Structure 1
Amino acid sequence: MPPDPYPNNKPWQAHTRQRLRTDGTPAEAALWRRLQRRQLGGLRFRRQFGVGPYVLDFYCPAARLAVELDGAVHDDPARAAYDATRTHHLARVGVRVIRFENRRVFDEPDAVLAAIAEAAGLA
């Protein structure tokens, strides 16, 4: 994996990261309750973590894994194109991205956690 050429959690992102944590979606809050404090296989996840120019919903540095939750706004073609560009950039710096629709966090929480564990190399 190539190292990330950008420093993480850039100072100019601090306000954005804090706002995203404060104004997060209910799905983000629900998933965070299951990921925080190394509850998933002992892996440490960070919430609203900056990698390069992007702020990720959840990031596991040990697995170089980003977990993104998508609401209805991500159905917009312009947003989908932005997400594809973002995912491509993150892949170039060695970060894998997995995405879930917000509703899956509530409808299938165990399946979401199992998919995250598998992507992180735990399963």
Structure 2
Amino acid sequence: MDRIHNKENVHLAKELRKNMTKEEKHLWYDYLKPYRQSFGVAFTRQKVLDRYIVDFYCPRAKLVIELDGSQHYTESAEKYDADRTIFLNSLGIEVLRYSNRDIQTRFQDVCNDIHFHVSARIKAL
């Protein structure tokens, strides 16, 4: 699965890693990056999967985490996100979505939800 890779998006993914939003930085540095040390499961950030770049990806659990800012709530963006989720689901990948506001106001709840889904996915795979 990880070999589904669009080389044209690699440069963009690198740029996105350099320019993470404050909510992406918070989730990455305060939870997902240390997750491997705590639970033995690794995440990557700004991962190229076919024609898409996902915010965070856990290959062992086949799980994508997306953080949605205000730009995701337009009609065209919602359609794009829905199409992308359908495509990723067709590869056996589950997609979790959280708003930036969730990260700002319910960070521990988001972390607990991610852990629940990672654990469940690993047991099911």
Q: Answer yes or no: same fold by TM over 0.5.
A: yes
Bigger relative contact order, structure 1 or 2 (CA pairs below 8 A, ≥6 apart): 1
For residues 76 and 120 of structure 2, the distance between their equivalents in structure 1, rounded to whole angstroms, comes to 34
Pick from 23, 43, 56: which aligns with 1:27? 23
- 8 Å Cα contact 1:70/1:100 also seen in 2: yes
**What is the identity percentage for the equivalent residue pairs of Structure 1 and Structure 2?**
34
Partner of 2:89: 91
Q: Per the alignment, in what secondary structure is the counterpart of residue 119 of structure 2?
A: coil
Residue segments in structure 1 that go unaligned for 5+ positions in a row: none
Distance 1:52 1:9 in 2: 5
Instruction: Give 1:56's aligned residue.
Output: 54
Tell me the C-alpha RMSD between the 2 structures: 1.8
User: 5+ residue gaps in structure 2?
Assistant: none
Query: Amino acid of the residue matched to residue 25 of structure 2?
Result: A
Letter in 2 for 1:117: H
> Structure 1 length as normaliser, TM-score?
0.89
* Aligned equivalent of 2:6, options 1, 7, 10: 10
1:75-119 deviations in Å (ceiling 9; x for gaps): 100000000000000000011000000121121111001111111
TM-score (structure 2 length as normaliser): 0.87
| 1:36 aligned residue (33, 37, 40) | 33
- 2:56 counterpart SS class: strand
Partner Cα distance (2:39, 2:104) in 1: 21
The count of corresponding residues between Structure 1 and Structure 2 is: 119
